[in-house]
Amino acid sequence: MNIRAVPLKYSGTTYRSTLEADWAATFNSLGWYFEYEPWAVDLGDGDRYLADFHLPAQNVWCEVKGGHNERLDKTRKFRRAVADPDQPGGELVVLLRAAGEPGRSANWQCVTGAYRSITINQCGICEQWCFTQYAVDGWFCRHCQAPDGLIAERQYMSAVHAKSVQQEMALRIGDTSRDYVKELCPEHGRLPFVKAPRPARLRSA
C-alpha cells in the first residue's frame, strides 16, 4: 500500500512529512542544532544523495524512514560514502523511525539494521546529549570530544531497544513487574517523542 507523505510547516520550515517535522521537534527538545536537507552528497559514481537531517556538532546524518525501507540500499550506499567505521566521532548515519511502544517513545536504528548499536548519551563534562555508536565511539562525546565523557546511566535507548531490554531482563530474572529500563537509566531510558503542532485538518496525523 502506498502511503503519501503529508507536508507540515513547523518553526518556519516546511517539512516533506509530519514524521520529519516531529523529529525536528524532538531534536529541539534535546537542544540540538540541525540542518534540514542541507546539501546533496556525491556518492562517487555520479549518483547524489540528499539526507533529511545533518547534526553538524555531532558529525551525524539522519534519514527519516518511518516504517518502510524504500531506497534503503541507496541509504546504505550513502553511509559507505560518508561514514568512518573506525574513527570515534567520525561521520555516523542514523535511521529515524516512527514512535514505538511503550509510551510512544522515540525510535531509531543503525543503517545496518541494529537497534542496540546506537544510543543517545549525556556527557558529564559538557552536559550535551549526543548519538553514540558504542562499538566505535565507546564513551567519546561527539560534542566536546572528551574521550571518556559519556555517562552510562544517562542514556536513551530506541523504543525497540528498550522493549527488548525489558523482555530479556524479565526472562532472565523472572519478574515481569519491574521496569528494568528505568532501573538501568533512572532518569532517562526512553526518549519522549515530540509531535510538531498540527493545523486542525491534520490533528489526527
> 140, 147 in Cβ contact below 8 A?
yes
pLDDT higher at 100 or 205: 100
30 pLDDT band (50/70/90 cuts)? very high
Residue span of the structural domain in which 16 resides: 8-202
Answer yes or no: is 56 within a domain: yes
Answer yes or no: is 128 within a domain: yes
Confidence at residue 83, expressed as pLDDT on a 0 to 100 scale: 75
Confidence at residue 190, expressed as pLDDT on a 0 to 100 scale: 93
pLDDT above 70: residue 202: no
148 pLDDT band (50/70/90 cuts)? very high
How far is Cα 126 from Cα 114, in angstroms, rounded to an integer? 28
Q: Give the cell for residue 112.
A: 545496518
Number of domains in the chain: 1
Which tens digits make up the pLDDT trace of 31-66? Answer: 999 999 999 888 877 789 899 999 999 999 999 987
> Length of the chain in residues, anyone?
205
Mean pLDDT of the chain: 89
Which tens digits make up the pLDDT trace of 65-75? Answer: 876 667 778 88
Answer yes or no: is 2 within a domain: no
Percent of the chain with pLDDT over 70: 94
Answer yes or no: is 145 within a domain: yes
Model pTM? Answer: 0.91
Q: Give the cell for residue 21.
A: 517535522
Across 61-96, b (16+ Cβ under 10 Å) vs e yields bbbbbbeeeeeeeebebbbebbbeeeebbbbbbbbb
Answer yes or no: is 75 within a domain: yes
